[in-house]
Amino acid sequence: MEDLYETAPCGYVSLSPHGTIVKANRTLSDWLGWPPETLVGKAVHDILGFGGRIAFETHLAPLLRLQGHVDEIALDLLRADGDKIPAIANAAEKRDAAGKHRFTRLTLFKAVDRRTYERSLLEARGKAETESKVQAEAVLVRDQFMAVLGHDLRSPLAAIAAGTRLLARREQLSEQGRSILSEMTKSAERAAALIDDVLDLARGSLGGGFVIERDADEPLTPVLEQVVAELRAITPDRTIESRIDIDEPVCCNRGRLGQLASNLLSNAISHGAPTQPIRFEAVTREDRFVLTVVNAGDPIPADVRDRLFQPFFRGHARPSQQGLGLGLFIASEIAKAHEGDLDVSSTINETRFTFTMPRASSVGT
C-alpha cells in the first residue's frame, strides 16, 4: 500500500483546512523537484501557478465547501525551478462524522499533451471567432456602401434619362443623332436596372433578407405578359416562346415575380445558345404556381451550378451582357420570400430554371 501511494502514476497531496500541505507522495515531489520533506508545511499556493492560486481561492475552495468535491480542473503546477507542469486535478474534502472539514485530498495528473491540445483548440476557436467577426463587419460595410452609392447614383441617372427624353421629343436630330440617343436611352435603362439590383442586395442583407408584401388582389398574367413583351422588344433577334396559363389569383408580390421572370429570361438570353428559342412557361398546377425558363446551349458545369445563386457570381457571358452577377441571386431571394423554391437543372439538351411556390400564402394576407 505504501508503495502504491508513493509511486502511483499520479500525484497525491493532502491539505489542511487552511491550505497547508500535510502530506504528499513521491511522484508529486519528483515532478515538482522538491524533496518530500520540504513539501510538507508549504502552502498549496506555493505549488500552483498564479492563475491556479487565484482560482483555488475564488473557485475551488468555495466549490469544495459547497459540494465536497471538484473534478477535472486544469491547472499549472509550479516546480521548484519555476517551470510549470500542466496538470488535471480532482479534489475532495474529507469530513468527520460531525461534518467538520478535516483535510482536502488532491489527485493530480500530468496532462502536458492534452493541455497543449486544448489550448491550441482554444486558440483556433478564438481566431475563427475573430475572423468571422471581421468578415461580418466587412460585409456590413460593403452593403452600407452599396446602399449609399446606389441611392446617390439614381439622381444623376434620372437626370440623364430625362435629358434624353427631352432631346428625343423637342430637338431635330440627324439619323446618327437619333441612333446615338436610342443607345443612350438603353444604356441608362440598363444602368438603372443594375442600381436596382444593387439596392435590392444591400437592403436584403442589411434588413436580414427580403421582406415583401403579398396579396391576391390583381391578376398576375398581365404582369408576366408585359415582362415577356419588354424582353422581346430589347432583343428582337431572339425567339421567346411563351405560354402563360394561370388559374388566378396567385397570392404574391406581382412586381417581384415580374422581376424574377425578367431576371431568369435575361439570364437565358445572356447564356443560352443565340440561335435556339427560349421557352417561358407560367402555369398553375393544383395549389402551386410554377414558372419555368428553358434555354439550349452548353450545360452548366456542376461546380458553377453550386454557386449560381450567390451574389456577385458571374459565369461566362459576352462582355456586352456582363452584369453584376446579382440577377439569379435576387431571383432566388424573391423565391424564398414567397415560400417558394428556385432550382436549376442543366443537361446537353437544355438548361432549365424552375420556380415553384404555393398559390396561397401560409401566413395569410
Partner 1 sequence: MFAHGFGCDQAMWTQVAREFEADYRIVLFDYVGHGQSDLTAYDADRYSTLDGYAEDVTEIGRTLGLSNAIYVGHSVSAMIGALATLKAPGMFSDLVMVGPSPRYIDDDGYRGGFSRAQIDELLEFLADNHLGWSAAMAPAIMGNADRPDLSARLENSFCNTDPDIARDFARVTFLSDNRDDLAAVNVRTLVLQCSSDIIAPVEVGQYVHASLPNSDYRLLRATGHCPNLSAPDEVTAAIRDFV
The residues binding partner 1 (CB under 8 A) are 17-19, 45, 49-55, 57-59, 61-63, 65-67, 70-76, 101, 115, 118-119, 121-122
When the beta carbons of 51 and 301 are compared against partner 1, the nearer one is 51
Shortest Cβ distance from residue 187 to partner 1 (Å)?
49
The dihedral built from the CA positions of residue 284, 290, 293 and 298, taken in this order, carries a sign that is: negative
Minimum Å distance from CB 139 to partner 1? 22
Q: How far is the CB of 23 from partner 1 (least distance, A)?
A: 19
CB of 51 to partner 1, least distance (A): 3
Residue in the block written with cell 404555393: 358
Name all contacts of 236-241 with Cβ < 8 Å and 24+ positions apart: 237/274, 238/269, 238/274, 238/277, 238/278, 239/277, 239/278, 240/265, 240/277, 240/278, 240/279, 240/280, 241/277, 241/278, 241/279, 241/280
Q: How far is the CB of 33 from partner 1 (least distance, A)?
A: 20
Quote the least distance from Cβ 283 to partner 1, whole Å: 43
Residue number, 53 or 238, with CB nearest to partner 1: 53
Looking at the Cβ atoms of 57 and 241, the one nearer to partner 1 is: 57
Measured from the CB of residue 86, what is the shortest distance to partner 1 in angstroms?
A: 9
Output the nine-digit C-alpha cell for 110: 500530468
Q: Please, what is the minimum distance in Å from the beta carbon of residue 322 to partner 1?
A: 44
Q: Which is nearer to partner 1, 22 or 54 (CB)?
A: 54
Does the CA dihedral 179-180-183-184 come out positive or negative?
negative
Residue in the structure block whose three cell numbers are 419555368? 292
**Of 20 and 253, CB closest to partner 1:** 20
Angstrom distance (rounded) from CA 222 to CA 227: 9
> Residue 310 carries which side chain, given as an amino acid letter?
Q
Do the beta carbons of residue 11 and residue 107 sit within 8 Å? yes
CB neighbours of 339 closer than 8 A, spacing ≥ 6? 357, 358, 361, 362
Return the number of the residue (56 or 353) whose C-beta is nearest partner 1.
Answer: 56
Nearer to partner 1, 18 or 170 (CB): 18
Residue type at 86 in one-letter notation? P
- Helices assigned H by DSSP within the chain: 2-7, 26-32, 36-39, 50-55, 61-67, 112-170, 175-206, 221-234, 254-271, 302-307, 327-337
Alpha carbons 325 and 312: distance in angstroms, whole number: 4
Nearer to partner 1 by C-beta: 16 or 276? 16
E strands present in 267-340: 278-285, 288-295
Instruction: Provide the grid cell at 185.
Output: 436611352
CB of 363 to partner 1, least distance (A): 25
Q: Which among 321, 200, 335 has a CA at the least distance from the CA of 272?
A: 321
Instruction: Tell me how far, at minimum, the Cβ of 131 lies from partner 1, in Å.
Output: 18
CB of 129 or CB of 245, closer to partner 1: 129
Placement of cell 431572339 in the chain: 238
**Beta carbon nearer to partner 1, 87 or 294:** 87
